[in-house]
Amino acid sequence: MIQQFDPPKRRLLGPGPSDIDPRVLKALSRHTIGHLDPEFVRMMDEVKQLTKYAFQTENELTMIVSGPGSAGMETCFVNLIEPGDKVIVCQNGVFGGRMKENVERYGGTAIMVMDDWGKPVSIQKVEAALKENPDSKILAFVHAETSTGVESDAKALCKLAKEYDCLTIVDTVTSLGGIPTLVDEWGMDAVYSGSQKCLSCTPGLSPITISPRAVEAIKNRKTKVASWFLDLTLVMQYWGGGVKRSYHHTAPVNALYSMHEALLMLKEEGLENRWNRHQEMHVVLRDGLEGLGFSYLVPADCRLPQLNAVFLPEGLEEAPIRKRLLEDYNLEVGGGLGDFAGKLWRVGLMGYSARRENVDYCLQSLKEVL
């Protein structure tokens, strides 16, 4: 006999989803209206404006994809890649590998630039790959690798791509709202993120933004976009940009209410303040974890404040401790992925989760458990 589901009150200090502010949850459950209702359309315009603020961009094609970050990723790749296109893909963790999958499934050729997990993308290797492959159309990389907690130098990579006349596709799922992600200033072209990390919105949405030169490339495609659902030439009409809104698919109405509220809270706090908050909470957590014998995978100069990949003190098995934290302390921290499965933890301090109260609770719980 199935009962109503009453989730436990966890604190989410994993790699996402992060804790959600009660204001955002309240917005989520507001009265549903039609997706073509003028009031809803007005709200969507505001969501667009707020998303432009979050990305620090003036790109007209800035919107929320009606699916999780993976759908946002696929939106960028499926619209920009045509069969035969050469794409330089940087891989230094799980998500670079997904980029490769995306390129190949849409008929492109992926030139891989490999770096060790936990290391940032090597600018030198990318430059060498660009030199060797002057016919490359796109450079694709992950700004903040969720699998390892490393930041790559997005600014330098975008500059390099421009020099070699390449478009960029940039994964900012874990960076947006947590560290500077300056789309226009750095010259990123097709950028996707996720709702459930440093924006602390309900999981299942993906903000994206596309530069005018990437829009041109999409408009000049010789072949149809392989996906109807993610075809930006169709979706654009729905999200406006000079054209009359036409029906494409039913928008996730309530989820977009929560996105509106989460982005409004970001605006109220201010991007710089939010970046600083992530940094400050990271320092407290880091000192505490190192004091307990944890050590970081990633060197300090390219470490993400919002995602702390740490090895446990010598001799401890990670899984049983993580389980105990969840069951006895209602505290979620993440395990490792890939080669790091069973070897490290990923402790996230993202968005609403990045509060002193949570850091203290986490450190105190660890002291008791270890």
Q: Which of residues 71-110 bind a second copy (CB under 8 A)?
A: 71, 73-74, 78, 98, 101-102, 104-106
Binding segment for a second copy among 25-33, 56-64, 183-191, 294-302 (CB under 8 A)?
25-33
| Position among 219, 249, 356, 367 found at the interface with a second copy (CB under 8 A) | 249
Residue 206 near residue 75, CB atoms below 8 Å: yes
State which of positions 151-210 bind a second copy (CB under 8 A). Answer: 194, 196, 202-204
Among 92, 170, 332, 362, which residue sits at the site for a second copy (rule: CB under 8 A)? 332
Is 360 a binding residue for a second copy by CB under 8 A? The answer is: no
d(CA 130, CA 161): 8
293 binds a second copy (CB under 8 A): no
Considering the complex, what minimum distance in angstroms separates the CB of residue 149 from a second copy? 17
Minimum CB distance to a second copy, residue 357 (Å): 16
Distance in angstroms (rounded) separating the CA atoms of residues 53 and 57: 7
Q: Report d(CA 208, CA 310) in Å as an integer.
A: 30
Number of residues that bind a second copy (CB under 8 A): 77
- Least Cβ distance, residue 7 to a second copy (angstroms): 5
Structure tokens at 302: 């390219």
Find the distance separating the first CA and the last CA of the chain, reported in whole Å. 39
The CB density around residue 15, as the number of other CB atoms within 10 Å, is: 27
> Minimum Å distance from CB 322 to a second copy?
11
Q: Which of 96, 149, 207, 252 binds a second copy (CB under 8 A)?
A: 252
**Stretch near a second copy under the rule CB under 8 A, chosen from 19-27, 155-163, 209-217, 297-305:** 19-27
Identify the residue whose tokens are 């490393």. 150
For a second copy, which is the closer residue by CB, 161 or 170?
170
Give per-residue burial for 98-133: e unless 16+ CB within 10 Å, then b.
bbbebbeebebbbbebebebbbbbbeeebbebbeeb
Q: Is 365 in the site for a second copy (CB under 8 A)?
A: no
CB of 124 to a second copy, least distance (A): 29
Q: How would DSSP label each residue in 121-137?
A: PPHHHHHHHHHH-TT--
Long-range contacts at 97-101 (CB < 8 A, ≥ 24 apart):
98/70, 98/73, 99/73, 99/140, 99/141, 99/142, 99/169, 99/171
- If one asks whether residue 4 binds a second copy (CB under 8 A), the answer comes out as yes
Q: Does 141 participate in binding a second copy (rule CB under 8 A)?
A: no
Q: Exactly one of 43, 123, 182, 302 binds a second copy (CB under 8 A); which one?
A: 43
Which residue from 171, 115, 118 is spatially nearest to 343, judged by alpha carbons? 118
Q: Which of 52, 55, 60, 68 binds a second copy (CB under 8 A)?
A: 68
- What gap in Å lies between CA 356 and CA 353, rounded to an integer? 9
